[in-house]
């Protein structure tokens, strides 16, 4: 079976903000996050995208929390899920704190690279300065971490291209189109098609829509040959008024992939498609 017939499913388990008051299934402790990571892998997710929460339930970039969560995920010797960690899990964190875990934890295989700043309405500015992005790309390259280039607006494609041409961001790129955040590009299939048409040859890509726009972007992504991201970080409802679970969202994505005539990629296949070294035990 060719790589084009495989679809990588990423489970984004918990963001930095949404509380359990909104959906009690949102994991906030290392034990909860690890348990759901393993369950999503068993359900068909090849990658888990990890945020951490502190004792108060707020986003943190604590390398210790990342380390404990990864240890618990790998406590199951069969679980070979790809470990993908955020670099934007706490708006209070310094640039150095946002990338400290990449240098400290060799178990990290992928990490988010948010390719620009924008007004994240209505709360504030999501800051990713040129100085930070240059250093972040170099840090990922130095430690063999695959960037997940998160694109919230079309201009960010140019930012990523700039650092690639400078040799400060690895190629070929893997792009994650993040659609529907207020202040970024709306979650429409037209926007998805535009972004997909502008990435470099040989690049891979994935996409998600926030909230109610989750399903249109999921099906549009399948139609356009991309990979999928699902999870409670992006969407806390399975359907109108029905709370979602991470495993439920992954299971639905797996069913959609199979109905489309394709096959969910295993974690080993995802590494091959993305150019990530095979997992060493």
| Domains held by the chain: number | 1
With respect to residue 266, please indicate whether it lies within any of the assigned structural domains.
yes
Q: Are 146 and 276 in contact (CB under 8 A)?
A: yes
With respect to residue 63, please indicate whether it lies within any of the assigned structural domains.
yes
Residues 6+ apart with CB under 8 A from 32: none
With respect to residue 124, please indicate whether it lies within any of the assigned structural domains.
yes
The CB density around residue 92, as the number of other CB atoms within 10 Å, is: 9
Q: What CATH number has the domain bearing residue 157?
A: 3.20.20.70
Question: Per the structure block, which two tokens stand in for 35?
Answer: 């348990």
Positive or negative: CA dihedral 206, 150, 112, 161: positive
What integer pLDDT is reported at residue 1 of this predicted model? 61
With respect to residue 163, please indicate whether it lies within any of the assigned structural domains.
yes
> Percent of the chain scored above 70 by pLDDT?
99
What integer pLDDT is reported at residue 2 of this predicted model? 62
CA 268, CA 145: separation in Å to the nearest integer?
16
With respect to residue 135, please indicate whether it lies within any of the assigned structural domains.
yes
- Residue 243 belongs to what domain range? 3-274
What integer pLDDT is reported at residue 4 of this predicted model? 77
With respect to residue 279, please indicate whether it lies within any of the assigned structural domains.
no
pLDDT, averaged across the chain: 97
Q: At what angle do helices 30-43 and 246-259 cross, to 10 degrees?
A: 20
pLDDT (tens digit, 9 = 90+) per residue, 65-124?
A: 999 999 999 999 999 999 999 999 999 999 999 999 999 999 999 999 999 999 999 989
pLDDT (tens digit, 9 = 90+) per residue, 161-201?
A: 999 999 999 999 999 999 999 999 999 999 999 999 999 99
Q: Are 272 and 51 in contact (CB under 8 A)?
A: no
pTM, rounded to two decimals: 0.97
With respect to residue 44, please indicate whether it lies within any of the assigned structural domains.
yes
Exposed e or buried b for every residue in 103-127, given b needs 16+ CB within 10 A?
A: eebebbbbbbbbbbbbebeeeeebe
With respect to residue 280, please indicate whether it lies within any of the assigned structural domains.
no
Q: Are 271 and 277 in contact (CB under 8 A)?
A: yes
């Amino acid at each position: 079976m060719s790589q084009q017939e495989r679809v990588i499913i990423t489970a984004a388990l918990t963001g930095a903000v949404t509380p359990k008051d909104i959906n009690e299934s949102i994991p906030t402790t290392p034990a909860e996050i690890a348990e759901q990571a393993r369950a999503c892998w068993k359900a068909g997710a090849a990658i888990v995208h990890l945020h951490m929460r502190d004792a108060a339930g707020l986003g943190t970039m604590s390398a210790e929390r990342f380390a404990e969560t990864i240890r618990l995920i790998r406590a199951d010797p069969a679980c070979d899920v790809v470990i993908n960690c955020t670099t934007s899990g706490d708006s209070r964190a310094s640039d150095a704190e946002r990338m400290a875990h990449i240098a400290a934890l060799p178990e990290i295989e992928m990490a988010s690279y948010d390719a620009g700043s924008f007004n994240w309405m209505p709360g504030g500015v999501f800051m990713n300065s040129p100085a930070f992005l240059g250093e972040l790309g170099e840090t990922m390259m130095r430690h063999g971490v695959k960037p997940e280039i998160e694109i919230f607006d079309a201009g960010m494609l140019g930012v990523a291209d700039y650092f690639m041409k400078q040799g400060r961001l690895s190629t070929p790129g893997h792009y994650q189109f993040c659609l529907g955040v207020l202040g970024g590009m709306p979650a429409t299939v037209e926007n998805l098609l535009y972004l997909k048409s502008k990435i470099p040859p040989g690049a891979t890509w994935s996409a998600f829509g926030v909230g109610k726009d989750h399903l249109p972007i999921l099906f549009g992504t399948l139609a356009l040959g991309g990979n999928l991201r699902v999870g409670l970080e992006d969407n806390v409802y399975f359907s109108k008024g029905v709370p979602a679970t991470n495993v439920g969202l992954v299971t639905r994505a797996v069913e959609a992939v199979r109905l489309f005539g394709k096959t969910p990629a295993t974690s080993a296949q995802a590494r091959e498609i993305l150019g990530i070294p095979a997992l060493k035990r």
